[in-house]
Amino acid sequence: MGKDASSSVRTFRDLVSAEEWAELTRAPARPRAADEVLLRQGDPGTQVIALISGLVKVVHVDRDGRQRLLAFRGPGEILGEMALQHGGGRLAYVRAMSACTVAIHLATDFQDFVRRHRLAPRIAELVSLRLREQTEVHDGAVHERLALALLRLFEISGERSFSVTRDELGQHIGVSRNYVTKALERLGSDLVRFDKNRIEVISPEGLRKI
């Protein structure tokens, strides 16, 4: 893995002031159940979501039906803003991995929020951070990439146990399920434990050393 790769995750909330984030989340908080679709690929970009609590995954479905898990997102993130940038339909699904709380804004209201607070440079910085994240998770040996992905899940959620399958982790880091299993075994039970549908991080410090 490249020497500049970082496990530190920065969210939209990290890039704006506390007052700006409070304004964005002042809308009525709405609960969303685990496995619920928050945004649907192909739909027009009419809304932007502020994620107050919970964990979600961003999944793109190719024309042949193959799924690619692009990213995990946690509290402090905004979702759906990319469709406003290019003006087309949404490029991916956003599905809740756990119970979530969100604040939903019309696209026009969010655009007004960005203009009033002059947030365009910080939106661009967020896009750059996300592109770097997707690059880093495909750089290095499989066990290193998996360690980085699991460490990011831990950091964005504040939890040690995640409802995620080895197939999904494989989609995320670009390898098959068998490679994920071998990488988990190489990391060892002192660092991670797993079963069919759940991964548990035992030692974040050990993953950072990887």
CA-CA distances (angstroms) from residue 43 to 66, 88, 105? Answer: 19, 9, 16
**Helix or strand run (H / E) with residue 45:** none
- pLDDT for residue 49: 96
Two tokens at 3? 């020497």
- pLDDT for residue 169: 95
- pLDDT for residue 133: 86
- pLDDT for residue 4: 42
- Give the DSSP letter of residue 198: -
Provide the whole-model pTM. 0.87
- pLDDT for residue 87: 65
- pLDDT for residue 134: 84
- Averaged in consecutive runs of 10 residues, what is the pLDDT profile of the chain (210 residues)? 52 94 93 95 92 95 91 94 77 94 95 95 90 88 95 91 93 94 96 92 93
Burial level of 109, CB count in 10 A (0-12/13-18/19+)?
middle
Domains of the chain listed by start with CATH number? 12-133 (2.60.120.10), 137-209 (1.10.10.10)
- pLDDT for residue 2: 41
